[in-house]
Structure 1
Amino acid sequence: MTIKNGIVPAKYYEVSYKKSNLITNLLSLLGKIKKHPTALIGMLTIIAYILMAVFAPFISPYSVKYSDLSARLLSPVWSGGTWAHPLGTDQVGRDLLTQIIYGSRISILVGFLTVLISASIGTFLGAIAGYYRGTVDTVISRFADFLLSFPFLIFAVGVMAVLGPGFWNLILALTFKSWVEFFRLVRGEVLEEKNKEYVEAAQALGRSDGAIIVSEILPNIFQSIFVLATLRMGYMIIMEASLSYLGLGVPPDIPTWGSLINSGRNHIFDAYWISTLPGIALVILVLSINLFGEGLRDILDPRLKVEGSE
């Protein structure tokens, strides 16, 4: 674009900025989700799990620290057990339903915080690298490629082995590598968006680089970031359960689905419910998150529908 005598051509004032109002977009998105059965089922299931985690003290039949050795290894109610312990008890007499309900708190919280922090870091670095390119882009991209060379679980196990078990150590171990996916997505999207007319118009009007990135570009790629965050949350929940299963997650006095599955592995034949039922709870949540994420991708990226119909 050429600017003669300091005057910006009129056509650039007439460019319709593709600004996005987040509240309007979210309301529109909810309307589309209602028409997408898979996404709707996934979303409702996720909401049910979140409500279960938030109101755990009110809906769980016992305290999280409840234990009765005289009631150890009781069967679920469908296998001859009692309604006092509908899902049975474990080897130390803890009510399994209570442990599963409280275990959902750690899984959901770890998944949410890990994705939130990773998305924030990855979006910031990706926007900087994609917009400015040059040395900054090269350094960050090479570091991201270095992290990608390690399998995620092995890398997380190594970090936890150094840091030791703990809630925030677990968050740090998962975040240390998971920001890379968001970085690569945002970098590619920013590279594409920065050459469009609405960005050139903002530059011609004298807006700062920070304002252009935050107010112009990011609102237009928010949908892609949101879809990736949804899909990655399910993966982070699996990683948390895997580390807890290995004894590298949160302290053992805090119930998690991974530690419950691990505690029942020696009773898989005589008390299958200790490992099986937390595993089922984990599978349902992760499957629901994936269904919701795939549904969002169908709704927010019409190109996929075109490619799938060809």
Structure 2
Amino acid sequence: MDDSDVLARRFEEHRGRLRAVAFRMLGSSGEAEDAVQEAWLRVARADDEVLNLAGWLTTIVGRVCLDMLRARRARPEQPTDELPESGEGTPSPETEAVMADSVGLALFVVLDALEPAERLAFVLHDMFAVPFDEIAPIVQRSPAASRQLASRARRRVRAADAAAEPDPSRQREVVAAFLGAARDGDFEALLSVLDPDIVLRADAAAVSLSERTRGEHAMRLSPEARGADTVAETFAGRARGAQPALLAGAVGLAWAPRGKPRAVFAVTVRRGRISAIEIIADPEHIAELDPVLLD
């Protein structure tokens, strides 16, 4: 086995963690895959021997994601999650990936409002326990300034978390009202349960599924949509096959023909209105959410 084969094998050992890092920075499975692939291309071209491969790979993915976030800010017309402080020591890649995937869509709504450097500092430090002296060169700041970036982001996340609806029964009421209005095609009723700044995201599998679905009430999805009017138009007269479900213990929706979930709708409720919906059709991601149909 030559050096390139060894490097490729070691990179694959870290791919799951790198994808989790990129996904939390970018909020898009497709863009996360692109970032990891770009990181591999950069790694494959590098000549230097690396002692701390995990840290080096995280740095490369961080830089790639920062470039992508800045490019997104420069093209706002192109669409594209309070976390506990990191514990002592460095979590294993498997633990970090599970921790990242456990964070709800609600965080992305807050992260999207952050400056790219703030978002990167917060995600790397608070979610993946990367020290500030390693974050600093990525954002081209001092370690102290990088700490301030993460601190500002953390305060905004905490403020948003305080507004989240903690009562599962109230969550279910809001989700039921949304589903009823969608089925009835009641546009005004939909607007009444949607936050004006709602974000709707769909993974690549969900977009593909919507493109293959035929019929008068078929839903057409794009990777991202924003605003109550746009989201209401997407759902009005549709979602007739969806039903309430628990997704990783949270109230959401599932489309489950013959009782097998083919797509799930992760819903975030804030102040009595839906502020975010994530439509997921990737089978592995659905399995991780462990959907339980409620009726």
- TM-score by length of structure 2 reads 0.22
* Structure with larger Rg: 1
Greater helix percent: which structure?
A: 1
